[in-house]
Amino acid sequence: MQTFHIHIRGRVQGVGFRPFISRLAAQHNLTGTVANSTDGVHILINADNLQIEKFYDEIQVKAPENAIITEIKREKTRSIHFTGFNIIHSKWEAVPNLLITPDIALCDDCRKEISDTHNRRNAYPFTTCLHCGPRYSIMSALPYDRENTTMAGLKMCGKCEQEYHNINDRRHYSQTNSCPDCAIAMHLYETPDESPLNNQQDIINKLTDSLSSGKIAAVKGIGGYLLLCDASNEETLQTLRTRKHRPNKPFAVLYPDIEKATADLYIDNNETTALKSTVAPIVLCSLKDINTPGLCSSLIAPGLDKVGIMLPYSPLLQLIATQFGKALVATSANLSGSPIIYTDEQALSDLWDIADIILTYDRDIVVPQDDSVWQFTKNGQRIILRRSRGMAPDFYPHQLGGTNEHLLALGADMKSAFALHCNDKVYISQYLGEQGDYQSQQSYTETLDHLLHLFNISPSVIMADAHPGYNTHQKGKELSIAANAPLENIQHHKAHFAAVLAENNLLHKDSSVLGFIWDGTGYGEDHQIWGGEVFRYDQGELDRILYLDYFPQILGDKMSREPRLSAISLLKDHPRSTDMLSQYFSAIEWEYYQKMLSKEDHLLTSSIGRLMDGIAALLEICALNTYEGQAAMELEVLARGYCEDVMECYPLPIRYNRIDWRPMMDEMIDDLINKKEKGFIAKKFYRSLVRLVEQVSDIFDINSLAFSGGVFQNALLVEMISEGLSGNKDVYFHQQLSPNDECIALGQLALYHLQHENETSFSYSNTHLHKQTN
């Protein structure tokens, strides 16, 4: 017998890895120990050469389903005689280097237990096991053990202790274990002043009765509070919209099971798999009928043909949804524009203006997270719209390699998320909101501080968006001074392109790649607003080779909120602009904007996002956005609703390095005058964008095409690109990240690495990453 040390890195804490090793050792009749540490899992084991080979192989083949092994090593060590196999106390003895396990949705076994009247966890709202439950959201320190979570002060009862120490139990060393005998206490508040109801079954009964009577409930979830109400009650839904100051932005819907959901929506295999996954995201699914009796879709998703739905991902939500028995609206509990509320104190202070009843419980949330949101194209391409609960903070696999530095990329202001790269691990935060909001800035700072604390590091290099007005740009300056670390400011759209290159392992591709980076806004190197860019990437060099011809960007961010301003800007010299657009303006407004457009010194934009807004206004779909992206979403719905194939294209000629949109607008106006169906016009516009991509590819003789930017959240456009070009082009979309600005931080990291790999090709100025000219 010899003694071997096995060191395993990756996502190996919070997934049942130590109990798995303990059972595996018992099956092989081996003795030794296993422990968590800040750099993974360490095993010391007595075995001969044949036994260690089998044991080592089976660790990799039979690892727990939620585990990810990124590295496994073994070595002989000094001889130690073990008499049994034990899980020993975790150690903080190394630089933190492991993947952080995200929150894991309710597993099937626990779901069965809470509905089994003969099981001792029947109707227990905090049932968990090794395979499911909160992880990242309750983690206060590493390694992952109960004392380093917000379960620390909750003592297990005798029965739970027996499960915890039983090698054959599903809760062997489960750090979140509890039951009705050592329950996490719940409290239901019906008014701000009265004492709460504390009996768990009475709480569920009272809550579902309140929902049935048209009340709005605030319920503490895994990553923060949710607002629940009856999805079929028009009066309640209108009340919720009024109280949240949210006139049209769609709500998500919680169904008790997939069967009830399929009664109202078309749900394909990809969508079903996603809904039932360990992430359990919100998934956008197509409505069967806009007049479905169990779902007031006109108030849930006004003007849209899809509804975001989810299945219960926690036992508490499962119990509520099952007892209520039909669809519930389930939307983040927050004040308009602010991050999700996650502390009991803030919920009881701020939510009474929205909710009629509030349910809290005594397990604190450390890391607030909204629900992740996905959608799928008809051909199965996943598009992540929001990356949060169940996905953050791990980013694996990645192609950035290892680093001896502590790299911090701060991302952008819209759809913000930051990234850390230390050792060989990359961590990307959950969606952190719009950084123009002060509370979102606080949430961003708290989340960043928490992750830096978990890994016990200070950044040695900081990257930020080059936009001087972004809060993340200013934060980069502050952190640079505080940490005495260099600050690298990186152009927004180059970061987008680098992110999709990095996700698809294209950073070291030996042939050129074209990047179509289309979004709403980003600070350009010429100090204009970019958003309709085509880049060429070749051997570490990145060039802007084409862009949508500029048009006036008026009144800053007001233009993104008012599609009518994009329309009047696009048609400023068109003889029919008054006929087409004056209905959207008062006489005073019209005169004011015409004077503004006549000036020569206004800011310019190349944004395809704003082009889409202008077309939506021109087609009388949406002149004023009540939420971000409304016009573009409704334009997509109009095009998708036109069922006939459209192969015609509007002209988008390329003149030198610019894409001229004016001939398209002329022909589009002719189509309107000739009474062509607006759905046809919308679909023809999307077909024109696909043709443009193909044309650019052919002109430059580059067949590898990558796509990033918020425009590519559009499922119809992505689907048309994939179907239209994949036969003779290689098309690449984001895989683990959203095409929106949540991907910017990864792109900033990727460009930093490229700069250091290609010092002669790239250099940094004080405002942006640019190609060195020789």
**247-275 confidence digits (pLDDT tens):** 999 999 999 999 999 999 999 999 999 99
Q: What percent of the chain has pLDDT over 70?
A: 97
pLDDT at 302 over 80: yes
Q: Given this model, what pLDDT does residue 727 score? A: 86
CA-CA distance, 514 to 587, in Å (whole number)? 45
pLDDT at 774 over 70: no
Number of neighbouring beta carbons within 10 Å of residue 72: 18
Q: Given this model, what pLDDT does residue 190 score? A: 96
Residue type, 649: C
Number of neighbouring beta carbons within 10 Å of residue 495: 30
pLDDT at 385 over 90: yes
pLDDT at 665 over 70: yes
Interval 659-665 mean pLDDT? 98
* Full-model pTM: 0.95
Decide if 381 contacts 731 (C-beta within 8 A).
Answer: no
Interval 684-707 mean pLDDT? 98
Task: Tell me the pLDDT tens digit for each residue of 589-613.
Answer: 999 999 999 988 889 999 999 999 9
pLDDT at 290 over 90: no
HSE-up of residue 539 (Cα within 13 Å, Cβ side):
2
Task: Tell me the pLDDT tens digit for each residue of 68-111.
Answer: 999 999 999 999 999 999 999 877 667 788 999 999 999 999 99
Residue type, 77: T
Q: Given this model, what pLDDT does residue 89 score? A: 85
Q: Given this model, what pLDDT does residue 760 score? A: 34
Beta strands (DSSP E) in 442-493 are 461-465, 487-490
Task: Give residue 598's Cα distance to chain centre.
Answer: 41
Q: Given this model, what pLDDT does residue 755 score? A: 87
CA-CA distance, 697 to 703, in Å (whole number)? 6
What burial class does residue 259 get, using C-beta atoms within 10 Å of its C-beta: 0-12 exposed, 13-18 middle, 19+ buried? exposed
The encoded tokens of residue 555 equal 């009144």
Helices (H), 378-433: none
**pLDDT confidence band for 759 (50 / 70 / 90):** very low
The encoded tokens of residue 244 equal 């949240």
First CA to last CA across the chain, in angstroms?
A: 65
∠ CA 100-102-106, rounded to 5°: 145
404 Cβ partners below 8 Å, 6+ apart? none
**pLDDT confidence band for 770 (50 / 70 / 90):** very low
Number of neighbouring beta carbons within 10 Å of residue 606: 28
What value does the mean pLDDT of the chain take? 94
Decide if 705 contacts 731 (C-beta within 8 A).
Answer: yes
